Amino acid sequence: MIESGRILPGEKLLEAQVAKSFSISRSPARSALAALCADKLLTESEGRGYLVAGRSSGCPDGRSATLDKLELTSTPQWERMYAAVERELCTRVLFGSVRITEERLAQHFNVSRTVARDVMARMHSVGALSKDRIGHWVAERVTAERIGHLFEMRRLLEPTALIHAAPFVSREKLGIMRERLAAEIARGGSDMDTAETDLHIDLLSHCPNREIVQALARTHVLFVPTRYLADPYLSIPGELIDNALAEHLRVFDALLAGKPARAARELQKHLDEADTRWMLRFDLVSRLEQPELPPYLSAIPS
């Protein structure tokens, strides 16, 4: 606004005015004004506020500037750090259980404890974190037994959920999901996360039996590593990813053919293969050296 002449030399800016105009708190408004001062676009007023630098063209110095109303759109702090923490936890729990400390998490990412607490609460909501008997936040080791139990739930519930959901999903939506899947296969399958979300979360969310949908939410923790297939600890061989996407495609083709029972059988086969692929992760990790823990995580003795 200063550079375009909408705010004129000699006009005054106040911290509260900037905060209100940009719908932000006073702290970032104060930082922004200080940065403009350092860049010599503003000078500190003898009274309150800041004056726009430069020679005024006839208007009295110190007149309050008129600011355009502007809603800033930015990624929340918790969201910017969530992926990094999630990826770290996904790796660590393959080796053992870990405890996460709120204060150290906040210090490591240079955020407030409120932001750190928000990240941990969101991870708790998807089953990535839980509290131990004395109230510490922990991420439990992902054992072969636990994975087996989660896949058992999925084999029992997902095919039924798919049959129930099928009448409530339009052909248009199915077609869009299939096109997205086919495009991903053509690209080489680097975005497995979208494919998993389309089939196992979005599609099954149309199941009218909400008890099944809520029960399946506990198994969504299995999908997290698919966001990080480039990670040496979380990856699976490329040919197995190709197989998984082809299995997804057969489910969608059966649904689009109007054969939900066949789609459920294809889904059952896919889940059997997915269980095997997850177990392969344990075999791969057993050959790797455990990386050093970040300061906000500590190992829990087994």
Tell which of 54, 74, 94 closes a domain: 74
Task: Output DSSP code: residue 208.
Answer: S
Task: Output DSSP code: residue 63.
Answer: P
**Exposed (0-12), middle (13-18) or buried (19+): which is 50, by Cβ within 10 Å?**
buried
pLDDT tens over the chain, length 302 residues:
888 888 888 889 998 889 888 887 788 888 889 899 989 999 988 778 899 988 766 555 678 888 877 776 666 778 889 988 988 888 888 888 999 999 999 999 988 899 899 999 988 887 789 999 999 999 988 888 988 999 999 999 999 999 999 999 999 999 999 999 999 889 876 678 889 999 999 999 999 999 999 999 888 888 877 777 666 666 667 778 889 999 999 999 999 999 999 999 999 999 999 998 888 877 777 777 888 899 999 999 87
Shortest CA distance to 271 belongs to which of 169, 160, 164, 178? 160
Residue 100's domain is classified under what CATH number?
1.10.10.10
Give dist(CA 203, CA 128) in Å, integer: 22
Tell which of 26, 42, 74 closes a domain: 74
Give dist(CA 222, CA 235) in Å, integer: 13
Q: What six digits make up the tokens of 262?
A: 């066949």
Q: Is residue 232 located within the same domain as residue 188?
A: yes
Domain hosting 16: range is 1-74
Please state the domain count of the chain: 3
Q: Is residue 176 located within the same domain as residue 272?
A: yes
Tell which of 74, 93, 128 closes a domain: 74
Shortest CA distance to 279 belongs to which of 148, 190, 155, 191? 148
Q: Is residue 203 located within the same domain as residue 152?
A: yes
